[in-house]
Amino acid sequence: MISNSYQYTTRALCTMIVCLIAPLKTSAQNAGSIFENMTPEQCSALVSNAERLACYDYRFRQHVIETPAVFFQQDESQSLERLSNTANIITQQSDQLHPFKSSKNISLLDQRWELTPETKKGVWRLSAFQPVYALPLFWTTRKNELPTSPNPRNTVPKSDQENLNSMESKFQISMKTKAIENIFGNNGDLWLGYTQSSHWQVYNSKESRPFRATNYEPEASLMFRTNYNILGLNGRLLGVGFNHQSNGSSDPFSRSWNRVMFNIGFERENFVLMIRPWFRVPETGKDDDNPNIIDYMGRGDITTFYKWKDQHFSLMLRHNLKTGSNAHGAAQFDWTFPINGNLRGYLQLFDGYGESLIDYNHRATYIGLGVSLVDWY
């Protein structure tokens, strides 16, 4: 049995909301000549709340809002259900007009890969890929002045030994664009990406401040939307792609490899887990600049990202899946924090093999400090 006070509160609430909605119906019915040719964007520009709501109602008049009499002809539970349906209609109409009005309700992987119909923005639009940053201070514990490789053509002779500073600068740019959308029904997008990172011996005036290393990394990936739960995480992404990475140098400094890469993405609120196993496309003979690169750069990596308030943290782990003395890999920790507007501070810590491609079989620890313009998410 519903108490008298609950019945009174319900009727009062119904009356108040209906009184607010009733002008919308009345205005929309009388607005034919005014609102007939107005676009949804023009409706949203109306200053008066009543006129704006009336314009919305006229534009979407297939959803008819009931008069107060309808509400009071039903019991309280039906009235509440009717009110809820009416609120949902208004919310849906608003979302149709402004589908990207708030990114707070869009998951991190949706923001990055446009997985759902609501987040798709079409093709050939540039967007962020990997982080974009500049680290004026990038220091290493161990310089690699004589890069080596099992291929004799790619081993630097002692006569060509570089005179490097432990302190240099590092910067990275990265972007992607969607080339084809919805390849299989309403799923499956083809993305093209490009990342370039450079190490600049800007403090090495004796050697005329050269660029020590630059990595070029174009790739193409086919990404699919998924939806399953495992260990409290939502599996949202599955992808496969082709990745090329090289340093664009001539022998003996040349380094390159090609990979078929898989992407498996999980998320939960402000946490993202990306798993990327890969397979190296074989090369033979003199064309292979770095025959043992898998032994050091590994067979895949795992990257986690966590957003806490305005602080962003990420951790990358990479390994060759071997044990004992043959076990090699790397770990990288990144922390970005707000400075001013879109400008964020950036701290990067790296330990292991392959911080850059020329250093694929060289182990060292690196510490970088600078600014970030674009983060993972």
Residues serving a catalytic function are 244, 246
What is the CB neighbour count within 10 angstroms for residue 230?
Answer: 8
- First-to-last alpha carbon distance for the chain, in angstroms, is 51
Q: For residue 250, what are its two tokens?
A: 């001539």
- Joined together, the tokens standing for residue 236 give 């949202």
Two structure tokens written together for 217: 């990394």
Q: How far apart are CA 184 and CA 191, in angstroms?
A: 14
Q: Do 362 and 353 meet the contact criterion of CB atoms below 8 Å apart?
A: yes
Asked if 24 and 54 count as a contact pair (C-beta separation under 8 A), the reply is yes
Residues 6+ apart with CB under 8 A from 203: 165, 167, 168, 169, 209
Cross-strand bridge partners of residue 260:
242, 279
- Between vectors from CA 278 to CA 274 and to CA 284, what angle results, nearest 5°? 160
Torsion of CA 220, 224, 229, 234, to 10 degrees: 60
Closest CA to 254 of 361, 140, 148: 148
Instruction: Quote the distance between the C-alpha of residue 345 and its chain's center.
Output: 19
Length of the chain: 377
Residue 196 phi/psi, 5-degree rounding, is: -140, 125
Q: Which residues pair with 175 in a beta bridge?
A: 128, 194
d(CA 263, CA 190): 13
